Structure 1
Amino acid sequence: MTDLVLILGAVLLAAAGGEAFLKSILGAAIHLRVPKIVVATTLAAFVTSAPELTVSTVAALAGQPEC
């Protein structure tokens, strides 16, 4: 039961954080007069590449080749 509560709490925090992040990014786009589609495309590209970038960085810092 405790695990379920922790998982649900983590999901709620992730959703709230994602919503706040999205609002701030879109606010910055409006302030800088950058089209929202440019911001959305760039953000989507970064988010989909972030896990591989993290794995590669950790492997390089550990001195182990990435397999």
Structure 2
Amino acid sequence: MARALLGHVGTVGNANQHALAHEVMRLRRRVAELEAEIATLREQHTETLELELHLAGSPEPALA
């Protein structure tokens, strides 16, 4: 009977491991999506910042 109980517990543990592995895969995919979004936003922010710096460097009258 002890072997039967250990086998049953092992099966439940195995199911938990599969669920955990699936969750880890899902989270890794989500992290990759978020990292790609951050890279895109940084690129857009850099382009905007460069444009603002370029415009700030253009000569304008101080008292317009």
Work out the CA distance in 1 between the residues paired with 2:31 and 2:44: 20
**Please, which runs of 5 or more residues in structure 2 have no aligned partner?**
1-17, 52-64
Q: CA RMSD in A?
A: 1.4
Number of matched residues?
A: 34
Aligned to 1:2: 19
Deviations 1:10-66 (A, max 9, x none): 1000000000011001100011118xxxxxxxxxxxxxxxxxxxxxxxxxxxxxxxx
Q: Say which structure, 1 or 2, has more relative contact order (CA 8 Å, 6+ apart).
A: 1
Runs of 4+ residues over 6 Å off in structure 1: none
3-state DSSP class of the match of 1:17?
A: helix
**C-alpha displacement at 1:7, in angstroms?**
0.4
Q: Unpaired runs of 5+ in structure 1?
A: 35-67
- TM-score after normalising by structure 2: 0.50
Higher Cα Rg, which structure = 2
Question: 2:45 maps to what in 1?
Answer: 28
* Cα separation, 2, equivalents of 1:29 and 1:8: 32
Q: How much identity, in percent, do the aligned residues show?
A: 6
